[in-house]
Structure formats: structure tokens, C-alpha cells
Amino acid sequence: MTQPFIAPSLLAADFANLQRDLELVNRSEADYLHFDVMDGIFVPNISFGFPLLEAVRRHCKKPLDVHLMITDPDRYIEAFAEGGAAVIHVHYEACTHLHRTLTRIRELGCRAGVALNPHTPITGLVDVLEQIDVILIMSVNPGFGGQSFIPHTIQKITGLKQLLVANQCPALIEVDGGVSLANAQALLTAGTDVLVAGNSVFGAADLLDAIYQLKNSRKPMMA
């Protein structure tokens, strides 16, 4: 039984104790650190950018999963690649030439991710499946941590998994927003490979245990 990949979302960390939180993540079973970049235009919030990326890079041993919630992300993908991103997700809704953008991300040596807002249908991806390494399904409207999970996401992931299998596409499915132990099993059964979790891990009394629980949340199917 394969375990999911876990990506704690930095947005929910305690920035006054960032080094402490990053060292906890380093000691955990997390597979990535999810790094949310918001520009105040594509989403109604501003988060952080390159100075924080530089600080995180110095202390974090996990590969960086960069989620660009910004308009016209082509302007910055090279800088994030140079800044140490392992995966770069751009939003489908923010890209005029998605094929070109994804190709460029791979040329820069990163894995190419596409994020879909809750209202965006998966069918828009059929002509770029070969260019995608990861599909990031938003299970909240992006912009803020700590929001409630949108239940329709489970159906969307089931449909996406069918689409990927039908097209023999090896892209991973990642889910972001309101992920916790309450919905992890259903998300994994639907076909999710990567769970992003902010408040459910950084808000937990024991971050190491919260990540361990998510990592082990795939339960065996009943015979």
C-alpha cells in the first residue's frame, strides 16, 4: 500500500519562530514544503516572496513545492527555479500560453504543476497532459489558509484520476485547502497522491505526529 506524499504548507507556520518550525518539518516524514506565493491580484491576499524563500532555503531540507497564485507567472518562474523550487505550480486561470509555460518550467529543471481553482473543469487539461508532472486541485478558493474543504473536490478527483488513466498520463494529483485527517482517506481513495496541509499540521499540538497520521491515512480496502 503506497503512502501519500505530504506537503506541509508554510503559510500556516509561526513566522516568529520560523527556524523552529522548519526544523520540525525537517525531522518529520513530510516529503515537501509547500510555499504559497500570493500577489494580491490573482488572489485577494499577499503572502511572501523571494526574501523568505532565501531564508527557507537555508534551513529547510525538504524539496520546495512552490504554488504561484499570481497573474502572468511567466515573469517569475525563472527566479523561483533559481531560488530552489523543485516543483512550480502555475494557475490554469492565470496562464494565456499554458503549454509554453509548462515547457519552460521543465526546461528550467523543475517539475511542472498546474493548479485548478474549484470552478475550473479538468477538461481544459486534456491537450497539455504530456507537459504536466503534477495537477494541483484546489479544494478551497485560493488566498487564505484555514478555510473549509469543498466536498465536491472528491468527485473532481475521481474524474481526474479516470482522465489520467484513460490517457496513460503519469501526472500526480495533489490537493490543497482544508485537508485534514477528516477527509484524507476519501481523497486518497479518489486518487490523490500528494496532500498539502497547513492548519491541520502547524495548528496541531504535535506537528510530527500530525504529519505521521496523514502519511499513514490510507487505510486498506475491505475485502
How many CA atoms within 13 Å lie on the side-chain side of 10? 32
Q: How far is CA 5 from CA 89, 107, 127, 217, in A?
A: 16, 24, 26, 11
Tally the residues of the chain. 223
> Looking at 50-58, 76-84, 193-201, 207-215, which segment touches ligand DX5 (CB under 6 A)?
193-201
When CB distances are held under 5 to 8 angstroms depending on the partner's kind, the choice from ligand DX5, Zn ion, none that residue 197 binds is ligand DX5
Residue 167 CB, nearest approach to Zn ion (Å): 25
Sign for the CA dihedral angle at 58, 53, 139, 117 comes to negative
Residues that bind Zn ion (CB under 5 A): 36, 67, 176
Helix-helix angle 207-215:18-27, to 10 degrees? 40
Tell me which of 44, 121, 124, 146 binds ligand DX5, using CB under 6 A.
146
> For residue 195, which of 5, 35, 27 has the smallest C-alpha distance?
5
Collapsed DSSP state (helix, strand, coil) of residue 20: helix
When CB distances are held under 5 to 8 angstroms depending on the partner's kind, the choice from ligand DX5, Zn ion, none that residue 31 binds is none
Contact between 176 and ligand DX5 by CB under 6 A: the answer reads yes
Residue 83 CB, nearest approach to Zn ion (Å): 17
Q: Which three cell numbers stand for residue 18?
A: 520560523
Tell me which of 103, 117, 147, 158 binds ligand DX5, using CB under 6 A.
147
Instruction: Establish whether 36 is a catalytic residue.
Output: yes
Nearer to ligand DX5, 103 or 120 (CB): 120
When CB distances are held under 5 to 8 angstroms depending on the partner's kind, the choice from ligand DX5, Zn ion, none that residue 178 binds is ligand DX5
CA–CA gap between residue 96 and residue 73 (Å, rounded):
10
φ, ψ for residue 131 (rounded to 5)?
A: -95, 0
Contact between 36 and ligand DX5 by CB under 6 A: the answer reads yes
Q: Which of 31, 36, 39, 133 is catalytic?
A: 36
When CB distances are held under 5 to 8 angstroms depending on the partner's kind, the choice from ligand DX5, Zn ion, none that residue 53 binds is none
Q: Which three cell numbers stand for residue 126?
A: 486534456
Tell me the residue ranges of DSSP E strands in the chain.
5-8, 33-38, 64-69, 85-91, 111-116, 134-138, 172-176, 194-197
Contact between 133 and ligand DX5 by CB under 6 A: the answer reads no
When CB distances are held under 5 to 8 angstroms depending on the partner's kind, the choice from ligand DX5, Zn ion, none that residue 103 binds is none
Contact between 142 and ligand DX5 by CB under 6 A: the answer reads yes
Binding footprint of ligand DX5 on the chain (CB under 6 A): 9, 11-12, 34, 36, 67, 140, 142-147, 176-179, 196-200
Catalytic positions: 36, 176
